[in-house]
């Protein structure tokens, strides 16, 4: 979520696949679409002005803890990423990268019994102002909120942009349990590149606002204020990679190595907190 004008470019999409199956079969609408597709190559021109998505959808995966089949009492470990992108940007980095690491965490943990409840959040409407995440935290009861261990948010976790580093950014610039567990997980695999400073602007803000420990994990050219105020309440400035919110935000500009580091740090922290099947020192 970036403040200011995100006006996307208009673009033209051309497809030459006349045999795309049309779902629904009988309705007049789908028959009409199919008749257009059957004519051959189709050019669709989309032009917009400022785009704010009022109708996002959240996709939330939940695995209950062993010993809490109804999911009413176990502590909750949540990872999150946003499933929308700005119009005109494919969103490979922002934020398919975060969802990719989320799903890999879910896949790996599917092989183990869980000691805590695991929730995988795919939030909609982030770019329109954290709409999906704010709607989600509004659905939580007080008792449910109290069960949260924390929320590890991943948004833009694999750019090869050289000046970018892995940051744990919190809305108040202070470390918390979520940040500390990420540091601990990094230390277990010999990664000491994680730094903590201040920033909202992603779904972790919605959890912070209702008192749930959270942090944004992001590969970003983030510039903290100069010492002695290394971070502090005002935080720093940042420069995004050249592909940010552009049509060039594609898989060509994703670094598997940085995704792996993110998985080691965030996935390591989440696994350490969610599993009882694996014993990890520290």
Using CB under 6 A, list all residues that contact ligand PHE: 1-2, 94, 126-127, 155-156, 199, 201-202, 238, 240
Kindly report the number of other CB atoms within 10 A of residue 142's CB atom. 7
Contact set with Zn ion (CB under 5 A): 94-95, 155, 184, 272
Looking at beta carbons only, is 37 or 221 nearer to Zn ion? 221
Residue 41 or 129 with smaller CB distance to ligand PHE: 129
> Which of the listed partners (Zn ion, ligand PHE, none) does 207 bind, with a CB threshold of 5 to 8 Å by partner kind?
none
Residue 97 CA to residue 101 CA, distance in Å, equals: 6
Query: For residues 99 and 109, what is the distance between their CA atoms, to the nearest angstrom?
Result: 15
Q: Tell me the closest approach of the beta carbon of residue 276 to ligand PHE, in angstroms.
A: 33
- Cβ 82 to Zn ion, closest distance in Å? 6
Start-to-end C-alpha separation, the chain:
35
Minimum gap (Å) between residue 94 Cβ and ligand PHE: 5
Looking at the Cβ atoms of 83 and 114, the one nearer to ligand PHE is 83
Nearer of residues 30 and 184 to Zn ion, judged by Cβ: 184
For 219-258, b where at least 16 C-beta lie within 10 A, e where not — what string? bbbbebbeeeeebeeebbebebbebbbbeebeeebbbeeb
240 touches which of Zn ion, ligand PHE, none (CB within 5 to 8 A by kind)? ligand PHE
Q: Select from ligand PHE, Zn ion, none the partner in contact with residue 255, using the beta carbon and a kind-dependent cut-off of 5 to 8 Å.
A: none
- Classify residue 103 as exposed, middle or buried by CB count within 10 Å of its CB (0-12, 13-18, 19+): middle
Pairing of the two strands 76-82 and 148-154: parallel
> Looking up tokens 């030459």, which residue turns up?
16
Taking the complex as a whole, the smallest distance from the CB of residue 63 to Zn ion amounts, in Å, to 20
Helix (H) or strand (E) run with residue 59 in it: strand 59-63
215 binds, among ligand PHE, Zn ion, none (CB under 5 to 8 A by kind): none
Q: Smallest distance, Å, CB 87 to ligand PHE?
A: 13
Q: What CA–CA distance (Å, rounded) separates 50 from 180? A: 38
Minimum distance between the CB of residue 247 and ligand PHE, rounded to whole angstroms?
15
């Amino acid at each position: 979520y970036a403040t200011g004008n995100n006006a996307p470019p208009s673009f033209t999409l051309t497809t030459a696949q006349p045999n795309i199956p049309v779902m629904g079969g009988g309705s007049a609408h789908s028959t009409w679409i199919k008749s257009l597709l059957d004519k051959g190559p189709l050019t669709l021109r989309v032009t917009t002005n400022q785009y704010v998505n009022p109708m996002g959808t959240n996709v939330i995966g939940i695995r209950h803890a062993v010993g809490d089949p109804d999911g009413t009492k176990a502590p909750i470990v949540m990872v999150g990423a946003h499933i929308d992108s700005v119009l005109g940007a494919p969103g490979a980095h922002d934020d398919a990268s975060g969802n990719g690491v989320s799903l890999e965490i879910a896949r790996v943990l599917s092989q183990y019994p869980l000691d805590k409840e695991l929730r995988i959040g795919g939030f909609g409407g982030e770019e329109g102002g954290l709409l999906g995440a704010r709607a989600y935290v509004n659905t939580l009861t007080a008792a449910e909120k109290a069960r949260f261990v924390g929320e590890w948010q991943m948004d833009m976790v694999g750019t090869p942009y050289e000046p970018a580093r892995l940051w744990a950014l919190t809305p108040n610039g202070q470390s918390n349990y979520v940040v500390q567990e990420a540091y601990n997980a990094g230390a277990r695999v010999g990664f000491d590149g994680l730094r903590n400073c201040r920033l909202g602007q992603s779904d972790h803000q919605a959890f912070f606002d209702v008192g749930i420990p959270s942090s944004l994990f992001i590969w970003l050219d983030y510039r903290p204020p100069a010492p002695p105020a290394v971070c502090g309440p005002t935080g720093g400035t940042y420069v995004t990679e050249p592909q940010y919110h552009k049509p060039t935000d594609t898989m060509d500009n994703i670094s598997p190595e940085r995704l792996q580091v993110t998985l080691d740090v965030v996935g390591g922290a989440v696994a350490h907190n969610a599993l009882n099947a694996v014993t990890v020192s520290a």
